[in-house]
Structure 1
Amino acid sequence: MDTLLILVQGAMLLGLIAVGVRFKGMAIGLFGALGVLLFVLLFRIAPGAVPVSAMLIIMSVVTAAGAMQLAGGIDYLVAQAQKVIRRFPNQITYVAPLTTFIFCVGAGTGNIYYSLMPVIYEVALANKVRPERPLALSATAGQLAITASPVSAAMAAMVGLLAPLGFHITDILMITMPASIAAIVVGGLVMSRMGKPLDQDPEYLRRIASGELTPPAADAQPKAPTRAGKLSALLFLGGVLFIISAGIFSQLRPQVMVDGRLVGVDLAQLIQITMLTVAAAIVALAKVKASEIVKSSLFDSGMVAVVALFGVAWMANTFIAANQTVIVDGLGSLARQAPAMIAVALFAVAAMTTSQSSATFAIIPIGIALGLEPATLAAMWPAVVGVFLLPTNGSQIATVELDRTGSTRIGSAVINHSFLVPTLLYAVVAVGLGLLISRVAGGGA
């Protein structure tokens, strides 16, 4: 009976996401909120957690990005990036996700991707590369980076579980880091062939014909950078680099008193503080009118993403919180019967809980109890990239809204979204190569 009820609730959740996708834009969030109401009224389930932190991060980043766009900073960044990729424009499909991966590894959070997202989009569009390719790869790479970051919350959980077995953070990184980088390269090879070229994509052509979007000129050249544009870009990048540095070196985080002791400011809050401060600096130094920021296309897309994330993540969290015990226990039982299924269980639990840390705490202890080698568990761990299996993550929704060409999509069947192939590729390649590395190193099961 419990299984049937969960299936009914899951079908309702996916159905409402599909309806929201059909109406486009923030509608996915509006129908997500309807889903929360239905869970409350029909199933007597308490509303789940609202993703406040993710929403505030998006708001702060797009505010800074919008200010930078008005100052000409996006033009400046595109011009600099184009110097690198002009000879081989398709290389952004490799460069963007690898860059995102490195930045997110340093900061310990996939939220850094929000800062890079507008630049990746603009460079891809300017070079007539289908934006879906680098954007989908980069957003997913930001999540894969969590298992290769020495400062991520999930890594802290993994180290805590494996350290008593004599397997430390450097041992984990020796497996997850090369396996993840290889997975991203393979993802680039595959995604560079996915989807029609931008100038043949029906949705892109429809938007051009309707006047919703102006195509880049055939001989488009980067706009000449202005002093204000360069300054705004440097301020924006300075903020990003500070966040990354604070993620790597905790002593760089401002210390505040909490319960009578000094602790570093939470990194999520530091991102919000830093990016809003960057926006203030751009307004003051680059002479941007603060009242105009809300009119920028980046801010507009970002705020649509906030509403969309609000509703759909709220609905997903409501469903997960009500059924987490059944879901996790069921997958844990499966893993006990077939130890090789640990990776599948990590992937599935991450998808259902939308949390790498939760999946780590739920499944890795089962692998330890089964007697699997720590190196084998570390090799399977990148499977937590399964958080992107369903399109309910903030960076997924923000990417779809940012891509005005329409190439990055959530399909009518919900599961057929732009991030599905990168997610599956990263999981399979990273886990497969990780197991090979662990065996070569003498740590196989």
Structure 2
Amino acid sequence: MDTVMFILELLVVLGAIVMGTRSSGVGLGLWGGTGVAVLVFVFQQPVGTPPVDALLIVLSVVVASSMMQVAGGIDWMVTVAAKLIAKNPKRITFIAPLVSFLFSVGAGTSNILYPLLPVIQDLSYRNGIRPSRPLSLSVVATGVALACSPVSAAMAAMVTLTSVAPYNFELIDIVKITFPAALIGIIVAAFFVNRLGKDIKNDPEIQAKIKAGTIPAPDASAAGATPQLTSTKQGRNAALIFFAGVIVIVVLGLFKGLRPLTSEGDPLSMTPIIEIVMMVVGTVILLVARPKVSEVPTTSVFKAGMVSAIALFGLAWLTDTFLSAHQAEIASTVGDLVQAAPWIFALGVFLVCVLTTSQSTATRTVVPIGLAAGMAPGLLAGMWAGAFAGIYLLPTNGSQIAAANFDTSGSTKLGTKLYDHSFFLPTLILAVTTIIPGAALGALLG
């Protein structure tokens, strides 16, 4: 009877995820909450704990980063990133993904990539490089970046799961594994992606467009025609203030002695510290850069952050309700399987990323299962980062569509099937090249 109940409740969880995926966005959260209702009222299970800490981190980061965006901080970051990419256009398949990754890490969002896409396309094509190569890998690189950012929603979800006893695996412990693993993964993946597709001179479709006069022939001397990006002093100040906040978070994560003490005499955990620092950052941006506060709710960062928070709330609450009721069964059944083949955990995160296109949702859904199964937090974190590439396995993400639309050469394709688009192989390659060093670093440092 217990086994039957377990299977039925698991079907409720999976069903809520599937229905939420079909609705996407806010629908993920609503279906997660409905799943909680079924488990509690129909199966009489104790209600789980909502992810309050993770939600508060997300909200504080979203407010600070939205203030930065209104002040022009993201525009300033884009201009800096564009200049870095333009310095070595012949190596753009390596440089563009790395720059996109680093700025996404700093900002805690992949939205920074959108204004960079026409820059990457222009510079690569004018220098005779197939645009699909740097464009595709840059898009996928921003996915794994969120496993390395102290201020991403996915990291907020992860920290609240691993920083508690008995794991005590805090923010800096995660980043020291995920960041180098992602860097290694991107560099190695770039060698493979740099060979994907035909060169411009050998591509009959591109050559036909050139002959028809639809697009100009590549001309490196005209690379100065790259789309002009603007930035302001207020934007620069806002971005620097935000980055200073990120640095403060990292420093306090590294040096526990700098943190305030709790009433028990222990260093304050990183969860409230991230919340406090981000609220202060938002306030300082308000005072120094003078953004229009009324515009904050209209920004892309704010809208995306709120949708992410709602999805995280519903599905994380559902997962916690189910796992709390079946902790022993999962530890005894899934535990042996995951211990024998840890890659199954990475596959689970990857697949949930594919289905939900949300790294924070995948984190709150699968990571608790890995922890309950007895996986070491270090190994888990290393594999978790690479699996984030999975959100780009299907050509349904906004940045993928934007990249294809910006590529006037037509080399970046969304395809007609689920596997024939330009992001499919880069996604699989980056996942593998990040998961392997991530697992090695996790075993070594965790």
Residues 1:343 and 2:346 are matched in the alignment = no
Shift of 1:6: 3.0
3-state SS of 1:258 partner: coil
Asked whether the 8 Å contact 1:346–1:381 carries over to 2, the reply is no
Q: What SS class does the counterpart of residue 48 from structure 1 fall into?
A: coil
In structure 2, the CA distance between the partners of 1:298 and 1:247, relative to structure 1 (3 Å rule), is: same
The CA deviation at 1:427 is 3.0
Equivalent residue for 1:93?
97
Q: Judging changes above 3 Å, is the alpha-carbon distance between structure 1 residues 157 and 314 closer, same or farther for their aligned structure 2 residues? A: closer
Indicate the SS of the match to 1:127: helix
Cα distance, 1:220 vs. partner?
1.7
Q: Which residue of 2 aligns with 1:185?
A: 187
Write out per-residue CA displacement over residues 251-274 of structure 1, whole angstroms, 9 at most, x where no aligned residue.
332x14413x3x333212111111
CA distance in 1, matches of 2:163, 2:234: 39
Specify the alignment match of 2:44 in structure 1: 44
Q: How does 1:20-35 map onto structure 2 within 5 Å?
A: 20-35=20-35
Partner of 2:15: 15
For 1:127, the equivalent position in structure 2 comes to 120
Q: Does 1:230 align with 2:236?
A: yes
CA separation of 1:379/1:324 partners in 2, compared to 1, >3 Å: closer, same or farther? Answer: closer
Q: Which moved more, 1:287-296 or 1:25-34?
A: 287-296
Query: Does 180-189 or 238-247 show the bigger shift?
Result: 180-189
Deviation at 1:311, TM superposition (A): 0.8
Q: Which residue of 2 aligns with 1:271?
A: 274
What TM-score results when the alignment is normalised by the length of structure 1? 0.64
Map of 1:246 onto structure 2: 252
Partner deviation per Cα, 1:177-206 (whole Å, 9 max, x = no partner): 9766534534555678999xxxxxxxxxxx
1:305 aligns with 2:308: yes
Could you tell me which residue of structure 2 aligns to residue 200 of structure 1?
none
TM-score, reference length from structure 2:
0.64
> After superposition, where does 1:206-225 map in structure 2 within 5 Å?
219-223=226-230, 225=231
Choose from 363, 373, 391 the match for 2:374.
363
- Shift in CA distance, 420/177, structure 1 to aligned 2, threshold 3 Å: closer
Distance 1:81 1:177, change over 3 A: closer
- Whether the 8 Å CA contact 2:148–2:175 is kept in 1: the answer is no
The 5 A counterparts of 1:416-427 are 421=428, 423=431, 426-427=434-435
CA distance in 2, matches of 1:382, 1:193: 27
Partners of 1:352 and 1:79 in 2: CA distance: 32
Deviation string 1:347-389 (CA, Å, 9 cap, x unpaired) is 5898897576984685369xxxxxxxxxxx9879844659869
Paired residues of 1:179 and 1:429 also in contact (CA < 8 A): yes
Partner Cα distance (1:70, 1:352) in 2: 29
| Inter-partner Cα distance in structure 2 for 1:226 and 1:93 | 25
User: Aligned in 2, Cα 1:62/1:249: closer, same or farther, shift over 3 Å?
Assistant: same
Contact 2:141–2:186 under 8 Å retained in 1: no
CA shift at 1:300, angstroms? 1.5
Identity rate of aligned residues, in percent? 28
Query: Aligned partners of 2:20 and 2:116: how far apart in 1?
Result: 29
The change in CA–CA distance for 1:72 and 1:433 in structure 2 (over 3 A counts) is closer
Could you say if the C-alpha distance between residues 53 and 79 of structure 1 is closer, same or farther in structure 2, counting changes exceeding 3 Å? same
Distance 1:58 1:357 in 2: 19
- Give the Cα separation in 2 of the matches to 1:238 and 1:55: 22
CA spacing shift, 1:426–1:43, aligned 2, 3 Å: farther
Distance 2:389 2:81 in 1: 30
Distance 2:57 2:400 in 1: 21
Instruction: Please provide the CA RMSD for this pair.
Output: 4.8
Deviation at 1:236, TM superposition (A): 0.8
Quickly say closer, same or farther: Cα 1:430–1:361, change in 2 above 3 A.
Answer: same
Count of aligned residue pairs for this structure pair: 358
Cα 1:138/1:290, change in 2 over 3 Å: same
**Are 2:184 and 2:433, in contact at CA under 8 Å, matched by a contact in 1?**
no
Q: Is the 8 A contact 2:57 2:271 kept in 1?
A: yes
Query: Is contact 1:61–1:114 with CA below 8 Å preserved after alignment?
Result: no
1:59-70 matched pairs, under 5 angstroms = 59-70=59-70
> What amino acid does structure 2 have at the position aligned with 1:238?
A
Write the distance in 2 (CA, Å) between the matches of 1:19 and 1:193: 38
Q: CA 1:296 to 1:39, structure 2 compared with 1: closer, same or farther past 3 Å? A: same
1:53 counterpart residue number: 53
The CA deviation at 1:250 is: 1.8
Q: 1:219 to 1:292 in 2, by over 3 A?
A: same
- Structure 2: state its 5+ residue gaps: 122-134, 156-160, 198-224, 350-361, 405-413
Deviation sequence 1:393-413 (CA, Å, 0-9, x none): xxx9xxx9985957899xxx9
Residue 258 of structure 1 pairs with residue 263 of structure 2: yes
Q: Aligned partners of 2:47 and 2:164: how far apart in 1?
A: 29
- Tell me if structure 1 keeps the 8 A contact 2:16–2:35: yes
The gaps in structure 1 that reach 5 residues or longer are: 101-111, 147-151, 161-169, 196-217, 366-376, 439-445
For the pair 1:284 / 2:287, whether they are aligned, the reply is: yes
Q: Distance in 2 between matches of 1:70 and 1:38?
A: 41
1:136 pairs with 2:143: yes
SS in 1 for 2:227: coil
